[in-house]
Homo-oligomer: A and B are copies of this chain.
Amino acid sequence: MTDEKPHVVIVGGGFGGLEAARGLRKAHARVTLIDRTNHHLFQPLLYQVAMAGLSPADIAAPIRNLLRRQRNTTVLMGEVVGVDANARRVLLADTALSYDYLILATGARHSYFGRDEWEPHAPGLKTLADATAIRRRILTAFERAEAEDDPEKRAAQMTFVVVGGGPTGVEMAGALAELARHSMAEDFRRIDPTAARIILLEAGPRLLSAFSENLSAKAQAALERMGVEVRVGARVEAVDGESVTAQGERIPTGVVIWAAGVAASPVGKWLGAETDRNGRVKVAEDLSVPGHPEIFVIGDAALREQDGKPLPGVAQVAIQGGKYVAGVIRARLEGRPAPPPFRYRDRGNMATVGRSFAIAEVGRFRLSGFFAWLMWLIIHIYYLIDFENRLLVLTQWAWAYFTYSRSARLILPDCDRDAGSPPETRSKERSA
């Protein structure tokens, strides 16, 4: 019986995919949500996991559990490798699923502007595994510095370079400065963590270009007060295991974090659809793929212009897109007329700089400083989907605020190329 109902397949359990699934809760359809991981991730706080302020479980929840009450929905952990749009089938590594409607919410990865050889030296931040890998590199760099006798090598280990002055880069540089200058200040005997250098490189003329010039200047000043060296107009020319080169200067460094380019997942290739140079699929006004009214692309994987500008790659665009597409599919299933074209309602834009400064822009309203940070904190905790997570994160944040401590400062082994190995192994690798 259930097999006669139309089948909606959603690929990706991020903000967009999850919202689409929820919007189909009462639809007369079978819904299958596929994700390569078993969890939904609250990405806006991912940098806190990388900076040892939060644990992975604080900002992630099993997708199965979030959708457990939704009886028409099946969750599948698996890796989608392609779409056969003519046969209406989603291809997984060892199986395939037929669909009547397909929602692709596969998000984005970071891009190295064609220099993929930089990736092993400069990890980006999109998944929990990325975050724990970056955390391990940062903490291991301090351990190496403490064990290092050569003053130059020691200084290099204590130099951290963040590439990209968007919200993620700014948040990471700020959190890194706090980690070094406060949380770890007393922990070492030979090195002084407060002497760590944190360098933020931005190729464009200013940080946080999505904000007004005024707020962007305030954010930069706040970062500089925290001890971050901000360099704008600094395009990265080279990255290797020991240094970053920008503006002709070679900066010896132990850890490089990539927060620059973003590239959509390979959805465009799967569909053979038209994309922009970042790989985002150009979608119609109902977020469907031209020529395939049964396939929708939402969130970071989609390109949709509104008022002459492409919609930004932020959570709200994905959430509103997911909700909208669920409405379109429900209307078709129920034979109702299609809803009006998708229109993104901008609810404002925020970025945080360290533990007590943020900037916010909501329409013409602009705010910066401690109250913007409080607003940022409340909104983010509120949006953390699972109640337990919200409570825990609140506890941990409040505690960290008063003590500057970091409870999640663990170095765990991993298969990450070099970050998990002890210093001597790395030196050998380097000289090899």
Which segment, of A51-59, A156-164, A258-266, faces chain B? A51-59
Bound together, the chains give a CA A386 to CA B396 distance in angstroms of 13
Q: Within 8 Å CB of A57, what residues of B?
A: 55, 407-410
**CB atoms of A65 and B409 under 8 A apart:** yes
**CB atoms of B128 and A38 under 8 A apart:** no
* Of the residues B65, B68, B128, contact of A412 by C-beta under 8 Å: B128
7 A-B pairs with the lowest CB-CB distances in the bound complex, closest first: A415-B415, A94-B424, A64-B187, A57-B408, A55-B55, A68-B186, A38-B411
Whether A423 is near chain B, meaning CB under 8 Å from some CB there, is yes
Over the window 127-150 of chain A, the binary record of Cβ atoms lying under 8 Å from chain B Cβ atoms (1 yes, 0 no) is: 011001000000100010011000
**CB atoms of B410 and A60 under 8 A apart:** yes
**CB atoms of A77 and B143 under 8 A apart:** yes
Residue of B nearest to A60 (CB): B410
Over the window 163-188 of chain A, the binary record of Cβ atoms lying under 8 Å from chain B Cβ atoms (1 yes, 0 no) is: 00000000000000000000010111
Residue of B nearest to A128 (CB): B412
Whether A189 is near chain B, meaning CB under 8 Å from some CB there, is yes
Bound together, the chains give a CA A391 to CA B187 distance in angstroms of 22
Bound together, the chains give a CA A411 to CA B39 distance in angstroms of 8
- Residues 247-293 of A contacting B (Cβ, < 8 Å): none
Q: A62-B187, A68-B186 given as contacts; is B424 within 8 A of A405 (CB)?
A: no
* Of the residues B55, B147, B389, contact of A58 by C-beta under 8 Å: B55
**CB atoms of B388 and A392 under 8 A apart:** no
Q: Within 8 Å CB of A69, what residues of B?
A: 186
Contacts A/B (CB < 8 Å), 21 sampled: A37-B411, A38-B139, A38-B143, A38-B410, A38-B411, A39-B410, A39-B411, A55-B57, A55-B408, A57-B410, A62-B410, A69-B186, A74-B189, A74-B190, A75-B189, A76-B147, A78-B422, A128-B410, A388-B403, A389-B407, A392-B396
Residue of B nearest to A55 (CB): B55
Whether A79 is near chain B, meaning CB under 8 Å from some CB there, is yes
Q: Within 8 Å CB of A306, what residues of B?
A: none
Q: Within 8 Å CB of A60, what residues of B?
A: 410
